[in-house]
Chains A and B, each alone.
Chain A
Amino acid sequence: METRITRRRPLLRTVALAGVAAAAVALSGCSGGASSGPTTITFSYLWGGEEAKALEKVIADFNKSQSAIKVVGVSSPDAQKQLTSMSSSNGSFDISDNFGNTVGSWASKGILAPLDDYLKTEKVDLDGFAPAALDQMKYEGKTYALPIAVHTQQLMYNKDLLDKAGVQPPTTMDELADAVKKLTVTDADGAITQIGLGNPSASTLFTTLGYAFGGTWDGKNGKTPTPDDPKNVEALDWYAKTLTDTYGADKIATFTSGLGQYMSAQDPFYTGKEAMVIDGEWQAVNIPKVAPNLNWGVVDIPAASPELAGTTQVTTSTLFIPSNSKHKAEAAKFLAYIVGDKPMTDFTLALGNLPSKTSLLTASAYGDIPHFDSWLKALTSKNAKSLASQPYSAQYSTDLATAFDDVVRGVASPEKALSSVADKARSY
């Protein structure tokens, strides 16, 4: 007993010494970071694989171009981790990326640093960006993010299938309905073997159709959910009448469940199981790689009435600076660089995305991608719309997805499904 107590003292001393040593090591680590030389900023991004490689090249170019700032890129595809890192006073990154629909929610909670002053210092011209894309970057008059890449939706069609059925690419909703009818093939039991209009993502298809019928999802002011806008109901009714009611929701579900994976060689549009589909520009880059023999074309989304011609939905990939960054000015310098003409062209080309600046839309670099010009052109359309980016957006899109799912499965009429979202939206 006695010996154990006496022996404890040297042990304590050892522990204390070890603690001091550890603290010393930690301190020296800190002072190393604060020494003179370039300021190091961390760019944490959700991209991975090929896209991360393209981004790393842009980062390397920036680091070479100047000596004051060193950007370290980290691929971190965990969106939840990204969010929690921004909730502490000491963040783990100075610049990061997400999608346009999170800007409003994050800005309203003080997660994002307002960029306007930095953009003035760095002389970034906001007028150069596509208006529909820029709408999502703002909250209560301030800019909280910049679009690095954008996406539009267009109607793609399988030329061989249209020729076989004697159908011209549709330009109006009535023509589209007629084309769907001629291009949907059923066997003797009524089972669908080929569908006129594919539906890879009900959320994208239905919100886009809403716009194409002249509807709006966030009111005239872009601040309040208007799911049951009569034009939205009309759009979903058009879908229900053209597909669900005609062929049976269960028949469509059975057909859909047997389809191959999206964007793979078995993608139903690539294999001719879907004759037409409304989809984004990334398909133009993917098809030559995965389905080089597909004979396809692309046209504007058919208009419900002439003034709605050229309707498309714009979605954005954003870059932002978190409020807890210790190096906002340096991060803004890099942000200004990456939305510059050359880095943006390099990066969007590597990803097969559209540039967000209208001046780049005619850049020759995009000319090599088949049919890419159709999506590029859509970006400048006066009917290019985007969903609002408001604090309620995450919950709204979840509730809309549930309502769209009900319509696809034929368990609720478009009017009922959308008015149930309106009920929920009252308590957002």
Chain B
Amino acid sequence: MSLMTAKRGARRQTLLGLAFASPFIIGAAVFIVWPVIASAGYSFTDFNLFQAPSWVGLDNYAHMLQDSTFWKALANTLFLTVTGVPLTIAISILGAHFLNLPVRGQPLYRALVYLPTIVPIVVGGYLWRWLLNTQYGFVNYFLGLLHLPQPEWLEQPAWGKPAILLMCLWTIGGTMIIYLAAIKDVPSELYEAAELDGAGWWGRFRFITWPTISPVTLFQVIVTVIAYLQIFTQPYLLTQTRLNEASGGPGQSMISYAMYLYQNAFVFLKMGYASAMAWVLFLITLVITLLLLWSSKKWVHYGSERS
């Protein structure tokens, strides 16, 4: 094989490689990169999807400041994030410990915990609407058996957000399984050493498990925070009314940021305002993620840096 043919072969290989990657490159350019750039442009316009957009400068951003529904949606979303993320992490770590116990039938329990994750989210949404139904729902039926108060989940403003959290935490199996893998990776000699030093279960968790799995925790916290900031499907399904009408649950207690964004875009046909909202959410998400990464220096331990 001469040098020329080898060179030509290499170029051909590059072209061939690009050709094989082209479905992704073209797809990403057309369906991701361009819409992102376009939405930034639309955020400075009055655009209704059907007619040409007209430039309005910063009006959309200024309107957010005085839009009470915007603030309500933002407050709801932040509340869900602040309560949902710690609950997800705590329950996942606790559950992972239970799934790590050497008991008979453990693979079955692990499968059961993971099962709700496989249920399509829309199916889950309708399921929960019935489970939370005040009159026919199983949730209140069991609460009644236990002589606990039976709230009107989807009718009282105070219980709307707990209902959303309940539905989100139902699909916690995925996070739990990742934690289970992380816990299984903690070197057992560390526990033995700790036990020799007289550490109890709390000491073993506090000084060995928690630091060792902290990189996984950082990842989970970031992923879960982003998921909660973008929460849409659960509240949308729980508050859905008929046809294309916008709804936010009793007293707008269940309207999330992404839901209000959707309503502006596709119900009120204010695509410009929706685009501006999307960019504000992006900035909020970016700042929170950067803060988490910055704080991680204080509480995340990587095995390679230590010992």
Name A's B-contacting residues (CB within 8 A).
1, 5, 46, 79-80, 83, 86-87, 99, 105, 109-111, 253-254, 256-260, 394-395, 397-399, 401-402, 405-406, 409, 411, 420, 423-424, 427
Contacts and interface: CB of A to CB of B under 8 A. Distances in A.
B293 to A, nearest CB: 37
Query: Quick one: which of B134, B244, B267 has the most chain A CB within 10 A?
Result: B244
B4 to A, nearest CB: 14
B295 interface: no
B244 A79 contact: yes
A395 B269 CA distance: 10
Contact of A406 (B48, B135, B152, B251): B251
B51 A110 contact: yes
A394 B265 CA distance: 12
B250 A398 contact: no
B269 A105 contact: yes
Nearest to B13: A1
Contacts of B67: 424, 427
A80 to B, nearest CB: 6
B15 to A, nearest CB: 12
B271 to A, nearest CB: 10
Interface in B46-81: 48-51, 63, 66-69
A427 B56 CA distance: 14
**Secondary structure of the B side of the interface?**
loop
A409 B251 contact: yes
Given A109-B269, A111-B50, A409-B157, A257 B134 contact: yes
B172 interface: no
A87 B50 contact: yes
Contacts of B250: 405, 409
B9 interface: yes
A287 to B, nearest CB: 21
A394 B48 contact: no
Given A105-B269, A253-B156, A87 B49 contact: yes
Interface in B1-19: 9, 12
B246 A427 contact: no
B135 A260 contact: yes
9 contacts: A5-B12, A79-B243, A83-B266, A394-B246, A394-B267, A401-B247, A405-B251, A406-B251, A420-B68
B152 A427 contact: no
A55 B296 CA distance: 63
Given A109-B269, A398-B246, A405-B251, A427 B135 contact: no
B245 A398 contact: yes
A62 B210 CA distance: 73
A371 B247 CA distance: 34
B243 A46 contact: yes
A42 B6 CA distance: 59
A402 B268 CA distance: 16
Q: Which 6 A-B residue pairs are closest in the complex by CB-CB distance? A: A79-B244, A257-B152, A109-B50, A79-B243, A257-B134, A398-B246
Contacts of B275: none
Contacts of B9: 1
Given A398-B263, A427-B66, 13 more contacts: A83-B244, A87-B49, A253-B156, A257-B135, A394-B245, A394-B246, A394-B268, A395-B268, A397-B245, A398-B245, A402-B248, A405-B250, A427-B67
Contacts, number: 69
B304 to A, nearest CB: 41
B252 interface: yes
A398 B260 CA distance: 11
B158 to A, nearest CB: 11
A59 to B, nearest CB: 22
B220 to A, nearest CB: 33
Query: Quick one: which of A105, A395, A411 has the most chain B CB within 10 A?
Result: A395
A427 B156 contact: no
A411 B263 CA distance: 25
Contacts of A394: 245-246, 267-269
Contacts of B263: 398
B89 to A, nearest CB: 34
A258 B134 contact: yes
Nearest to B50: A109
Contacts of A5: 12
Interface in B252-281: 252, 263, 266-269
Contacts of A87: 49-50
B146 to A, nearest CB: 19
A79 B241 CA distance: 12
A402 B269 contact: no
B130 to A, nearest CB: 12
Nearest to A111: B50
Contact of A109 (B48, B156, B243): B48
B113 to A, nearest CB: 32
B232 to A, nearest CB: 14
Interface in B31-53: 48-51
B63 A427 contact: yes
A80 B157 contact: no
Contacts of B152: 253-254, 257
B302 to A, nearest CB: 43
B155 A253 contact: yes
Nearest to A77: B243
Contacts of B155: 253, 256-257
Contacts of A258: 134-135
Contacts of A109: 48-51, 269
A375 B69 CA distance: 37
